[in-house]
Structure 1
Amino acid sequence: MRGHKDSNRVPALLVLDLDGTTCDDQGNISRENRRALQWVRSQGNMVCFATGRREVDMLPLGDVSDCADYLLLNNGGKLVETGSGRVLFRERIDPVSARQLVEFCLHHDYLLHVLAGPLWAVNKENDSLREYADQLGVWPSRFQHCDQLPLDDIEGFTVTQDWKPVWEFVRRKGLALSVTPSDPTSVDIMAPGISKWNGICRLLSLLPVQPFRIIAVGDYDNDIEMIKNSDIGVAVANARPHVKGAADYVSPFCNNEDTVAHIVAHFFEEIQ
């Protein structure tokens, strides 16, 4: 989406992936990155975090309304206005497909994370899950059959170590689901058509004033579409090679080196 200068447009919409991009390897946003984003907003621009994180995954970051206007969660399936907490849109999975997937994972004893708003439910536990729950400070509820879940209100699933046979099941059965790798060890399962770029387009349709330019920054496969389609697509130094190949610019700094602050310094003076 290529912009044209217009007096009725705000200067820019900066869209940032969180994990591996804005956040360091400990999952924190550095003071330098926060300050840079606060400055970006003070100049009349907008900031949106676009992430595969679900609502529960955002708990360790706390309030981000000081450095972002919007949170695009669930790989683009849910948009939240940070200042008010208002949900602007929220996609849900087809309940028939949800039931089939849950039954398959229960039958094969595959660990399945079920996400529906603040609900986080799992069918089993392992050491990795317990460690993550300790980090969040929240424990998931347990389910043993489908009727314990709100099948008509599920936003998405996450599968970790057993993702390959689960992905193959979704493909073979032709379920109304999309599967997106979110990191090398897990996949997110959502309603069809959900992506970060599609979520950005929906955000743009809701804005009363359109941005002059869209800058998207990321590191992983689920960022490629928004990097390719934005006016300026940026990959961080630690991005996968094919993500870098899709970008207009590759930052020389990784996510542990305040790369967002450097990207702001690199691009925003000329935009203002």
Structure 2
Amino acid sequence: MELCLLALDLDGTACNDQGRLGEGTKQALAAARAAGHAVAFATGRRDVDMLPLGEDFRCADYLVLNNGGKLVRTADGAVLSNTLVDADAARTLAQRCLQEDWILHVVSGLYWAVNRRDQGLLDYVEKVGVTPVLFHSPDELPLTGIEGFMATADRGPICRFIDQAQLPLVHVHSEPGCVDIMPGGITKWQGLSRLAQLLQVPVQRVIAAGDYNNDLEMIQNAGVGVAVQNALPQVKAAADYVTPHDNNHDAVADIVEKFLLHS
């Protein structure tokens, strides 16, 4: 059997609604890897967002983080590639958010900063177990090392400002209530394509699965695009296959069984 690369979105796809991998999912991924296939988690999560997953991140061989901006090998934590935000764009965006009192999350590895706290932030802090740094000036940020931003409560005006100012940034809804902001040109598919090239896996043997808008491009461009049963209607419409089960009932096991163990 030829090597395939299975790329899985995490939240709403591989993870259940509690943000964890089900036992059936973990067993299926172990079986896929034992059969010689490679597994990648392709997610909008940043390093800090991966903390609640605990050691389960090791169920994959690779992590495609930041919606495609960062590639990490799980065996040794090696960063294979990492696309950073333009420093001038970072300064401009941070300064405008400070002026307007728009909440902006700034991330770089496990570094996490925010300019204002609200209840939503406090709830998320409790979930991940990490408290972000408060910044009051762009000069307090690692402007030459920022991997991306997140916008939550003020995502509308922040996205409009990015577009109006023509900053070299892209923004995408990664889940309800959250927009991820990345360097221009970054998508999950772009990151996944880079990984496939490194592994010398042709596009035809890439299987990509997801549930939300930021998964659409990789589902449309992979050799096999899969939507889980709970995916948005437009994601299902773009997929070659829709799983019979949803993310709370180990949809990943459906994918592994159909495409990797008995193909």
TM-score range, shorter chain: over 0.9
Other-structure match for 2:246: 254
- Structure 2 unaligned runs (5+)? none
1:270 maps onto 2:259 in alignment:
no
Other-structure match for 2:175: 183
Query: CA deviation digits over 1:214-248, x for unaligned, max 9?
Result: 11000001101110111110001111110101000
Please tell me whether the aligned partners of residues 211 and 227 of structure 2 are also in contact (alpha carbons under 8 angstroms): yes
Number of aligned residue pairs: 263
Deviation at 1:210, TM superposition (A): 5.4
Deviation at 1:11, TM superposition (A): 2.4
Q: Distance in 2 between matches of 1:269 and 1:208?
A: 21
Deviation at 1:212, TM superposition (A): 6.3
Other-structure match for 1:77: 69
Deviation at 1:106, TM superposition (A): 0.5
TM-score, normalized by length of structure 2?
0.96
Q: Distance in 2 between matches of 1:270 and 1:18?
A: 24
Q: How well do the aligned residues superpose, as a CA RMSD in angstroms?
A: 1.4
Other-structure match for 1:92: 84
1:204 maps onto 2:191 in alignment:
no
Q: Distance in 2 between matches of 1:208 and 1:165?
A: 41
Which residue identity is paired with 1:70? Y
1:169 maps onto 2:161 in alignment:
yes
Other-structure match for 1:3: none
Q: Secondary structure at the match of 1:256?
A: helix
Q: Secondary structure at the match of 1:21?
A: coil
* Stretches (4+) displaced over 3 A: 208-212
Q: Distance in 1 between matches of 2:48 and 2:151?
A: 16
* Higher helix proportion: 2
1:211 and 1:105, CA in 2 relative to 1: closer, same or farther beyond 3 A?
closer
1:152 maps onto 2:144 in alignment:
yes
1:19 and 1:65, CA in 2 relative to 1: closer, same or farther beyond 3 A?
closer
Q: Distance in 2 between matches of 1:65 and 1:211?
A: 24
1:111 maps onto 2:78 in alignment:
no
Q: Secondary structure at the match of 2:6?
A: strand
TM-score, normalized by length of structure 1?
0.93
Query: CA deviation digits over 1:142-182, x for unaligned, max 9?
Result: 10111100111100000002111111101111011111111
Once the two structures are superposed, the pairs formed by residues 133-152 of structure 1 within 5 Å of their partners are: 133-152=125-144
